[in-house]
Amino acid sequence: MTITVGTNELRWLDRCLGSLLDSDTTGIDLEVCYVDNDSADGSVEHVREKYPRATVIRNDRNLGFAGANNVGMRRALESGADYVFLVNPDTWTPPGLVRGLTEVAEEWPEYGILGPLQYRYDADSTALDEFNDWTHTVLWLGEQHAFAGDGIAHPSTAGPAEGRAPRTLEHAYVQGSALFARTAMLRETGLFDEVLHTYYEETDLCRRARWAGWRVALHLDLGIQHRGGGGAAVPSEYSRVHMRRNRYYYLLTDIDWHPAKAARLAGRWLVADLRGHSVVGRVPAATGARETAEALRWLAGRVPTMRSRRRSHRALRARGAKGASR
């Protein structure tokens, strides 16, 4: 099942859903699902009229990227789907991509999450000839840990070279804009953490997959066009606050980070955030201080949740280690 979540993104849907419905599905039972996050631009009506083969689910409120994708993934689990492919609206999917990801997953059952490299979005072309900014960053960081760009040493989360599928890169995470997941894995790890709402939910799912004993990788020979910034990713107070708060939440619920090292990294972030040097972009210091205070208030209210997550993460890692030793 493919799952596309949209929030007032009608302008992208024809090319996105059209390409998914045109996928090579020989021998594959593919359901294309559109989950609408309470849009007011006619997206639901348009999809229902133009793409009757697509399944449409309409949320009565905006559940965020995490919650809306979970609606689709729950449907996939209930229907007995073997895989889900999360695909953002501002994408174009080559005809052979779904089949390619499925074939890799079938041949290499150790992989719980796979993803394609991302290429520049061009509405007038189907070529995959220029990486987008996210892929450039991925290839620069390689298989380092999720916060390698912050200049702090920490072990890679990549799996061992032995048993690795060819032409794969075990980057810290597969971006949720084009994330292919095995439903057997999702039954072990759970779905996106809806506390996050938007941002870091896919990074969190990828680390849980690894703790549970699954491999996570990008495939270097598979690609998708992705514009990026087509929806919630545009720089705004919402994106800056959510990116800040979720980054701290992610770090403080990561059981692989020693508390002292995590505190040092969080301290670096806090100084930069208060100065307005946000991970999403620079703003005046007064704005940075106000938005950081809002993020920290939110974080303070989630202390019990973070403690609960750390307990569940330890249990998941223990189960994964036990399964690997069998």
Q: Please list the residues that pair with 58 across neighbouring strands.
A: 36
Q: Give 267-292 pLDDT, tens digit per residue.
A: 999 999 999 997 888 999 999 999 99
Q: Would you say residue 13 lies in a domain? A: yes
- Residue 166 vs residue 151, higher pLDDT: 166
In this structure, are 219 and 260 located in the same domain? no
In this structure, are 63 and 158 located in the same domain? yes
Alpha helices in 142-284 (DSSP H): 183-189, 201-211, 237-252, 259-274
CATH code at position 30: 3.90.550.10
Average pLDDT, the chain: 95
pLDDT at 144 over 90: yes
Structural domain for 318, as ranges? 237-325
In this structure, are 222 and 242 located in the same domain? no
Q: Would you say residue 56 lies in a domain? A: yes
In this structure, are 210 and 249 located in the same domain? no
Last residue of a domain, one of 191, 226, 261: 226
Cα distance between residue 35 and residue 16, in whole Å: 13
Give ∠ CA 44-49-50 in degrees, rounded to 5. Answer: 100
Q: Spell out a b/e string for 221-255, using b for 16 or more CB atoms within 10 Å of the CB, else e.
A: ebbbbbbbebbbbeeeeebbbbbbbbbbbbbbbbe
Last residue of a domain, one of 201, 226, 251: 226
Q: Would you say residue 231 lies in a domain? A: no
**Rounded average pLDDT over 163-173:** 97
Q: Give 198-249 pLDDT, tens digit per residue.
A: 999 999 999 999 999 999 999 999 999 999 843 444 578 999 999 999 999 9
pLDDT at 279: 82
pLDDT at 87: 98
In this structure, are 53 and 200 located in the same domain? yes
Last residue of a domain, one of 226, 252, 279: 226
In this structure, are 280 and 153 located in the same domain? no
Task: Name the residue type at position 252.
Answer: L
In this structure, are 201 and 291 located in the same domain? no
Q: Report the Cα 75 to chain-centroid distance in Å.
A: 18
* Residue 171: count of CB within 10 angstroms of its CB: 24
In this structure, are 253 and 209 located in the same domain? no
pLDDT at 27: 85
Beta strands in 55-195 (DSSP E): 55-59, 83-87, 91-92, 111-119, 168-169, 178-182
Q: Note whether 186 and 77 are within 8 A (CB).
A: yes
pLDDT at 326 over 80: no
Q: Would you say residue 232 lies in a domain? A: no
In this structure, are 139 and 286 located in the same domain? no
pLDDT at 229: 47
Q: Give 59-103 pLDDT, tens digit per residue.
A: 999 999 999 999 999 999 999 999 999 999 999 999 999 999 999
In this structure, are 289 and 242 located in the same domain? yes
Given the structure tokens 């593919």, which residue do they identify? 30
In this structure, are 181 and 245 located in the same domain? no
Q: Would you say residue 202 lies in a domain? A: yes
Domain count, the chain: 2
Q: Give 103-135 pLDDT, tens digit per residue.
A: 999 999 999 999 999 999 999 999 999 999 999
Q: Would you say residue 58 lies in a domain? A: yes
Q: Would you say residue 252 lies in a domain? A: yes
pLDDT at 102: 97
In this structure, are 277 and 197 located in the same domain? no
